Amino acid sequence: MTGYSTYVTYDDIYRAQRTIAGRVHRTPVISSTYLSNRIGARLYLKLESYQKTGSFKVRGLLNKLESLTEEQKANGVITFSSGNTAQALAYVASVAKIPAVVAMLTGGDPGKLEATRNYGAEVVLAEPLEIRNVTERLQKERGLTYISPFDDLKVIAGAGTVGLEIMEDVPKADMVLVGIGGGGIVSGVAVAVKSQRPKAKVIGVEPEGAAAMSRSLEASKVVTLDSVNTIADGLAAPFAGEHTLPHVQKFVDEVVIVTDDEIAEALLLVLERCKVLIEPAAASTVAALLTGKVKPAPDSNIVCVISGGNISATKLKTLIN
């Protein structure tokens, strides 16, 4: 953690905001009368589903790439991902003119593979049990810099810019809900929100089938799950991060767990009522409210971070009864 403080600070996030400004979208916040009535409080959705590449991931990754040395930039970067990080890294690397390699799973979604290639990254295919080794080997052979999708203070600070925008658009927010996969965005958003409005609550939401952060909080150390099983692929990280766990311990008020059925119901309600397509990871935050697992105070201002909108029509179909 050379050169970093242990925790991301407001200043880190503010600097990240200036670093990425103009190269990622300032995404909109919308409100929904219907959903507000359902939960008995004013509900706002921060739509990172409209972000470049369809998720918030570009924010942290671009902030990270811009922190590299000129030599690191020239040599290029690598990550492994079959989800939003793949496309996001490919995109921001092309924006920052840095060569990028993404190790993706053989037999993964062809659409995501194609999108990652179209953004200009070199895609290397690997089997699930080999993908970490392949990434490490390529990193060493080619002198690439490995980029973590969430467990990195620059990545956390970049994701935290979502929180700064929320506080600009909903300055009286009383509660902000954020999904937890590895814990990158919840860490950054919690710092941003608490620094601006200490009394606002920040709630993390995990899917039942990949609740690594809840397990890690219980154990007070990073726990790796034997397996994950959830429709919320964006939250399916099997472990919390060494950086993100302490952030969640310090800045997040509560972590709640929702089921796949609850996530699917929330996703379809947002689709039909708000007319926006969000991915299961994002719908988890709305599910936490609709199920009553999180109960907002009457007339309070609640913000759900809608982390992304990347779900294929084919997968969507499986969620509709």
Query: What string marks each residue from 39 to 68 as x (binds its own copies by CB under 8 A) or -?
Result: ----------xx---x--------------
Q: With binding defined as CB under 8 A, does residue 29 bind its own copies?
A: no
**Residues binding its own copies: number (CB under 8 A):** 18
**What CA–CA distance (Å, rounded) separates 210 from 204?**
13
Angle between helix axes 244-251 and 212-219 (nearest 10 degrees) is: 80
Site for its own copies in 110-129 (CB under 8 A): none
State how far the alpha carbon of 296 is from the alpha carbons of 40, 177, 191, 192, 319, in Å.
8, 11, 21, 20, 27
How many angstroms separate the first and last alpha carbons of the chain? Answer: 48
Stretch that binds its own copies, among 89-97, 196-204, 235-243, 265-273 (CB under 8 A): 265-273
**How many residues does the structure list for the chain?**
321
Q: What burial class does residue 304 get, using C-beta atoms within 10 Å of its C-beta: 0-12 exposed, 13-18 middle, 19+ buried?
A: buried
Smallest gap from Cβ 133 to its own copies, in A, equals 33
Q: With binding defined as CB under 8 A, does residue 317 bind its own copies?
A: yes
Smallest gap from Cβ 272 to its own copies, in A, equals 6
- Binder among 123, 125, 225, 276 for its own copies (CB under 8 A): 276
Q: Nearer Cβ to its own copies, position 202 or 278?
A: 278
- Binder among 71, 141, 272, 298 for its own copies (CB under 8 A): 272
Q: Which residue has tokens 């709640």? A: 256
- Binder among 96, 124, 134, 271 for its own copies (CB under 8 A): 271
- Binder among 158, 182, 183, 309 for its own copies (CB under 8 A): 309
52: Cβ–Cβ under 8 A, 6 or more apart, which residues? 24, 25, 58, 88, 91
Pairing of strands 301-306, 42-47: parallel
Binding region for its own copies (CB under 8 A)? 49-50, 54, 268, 271-272, 275-278, 309, 312-314, 316-317, 320-321
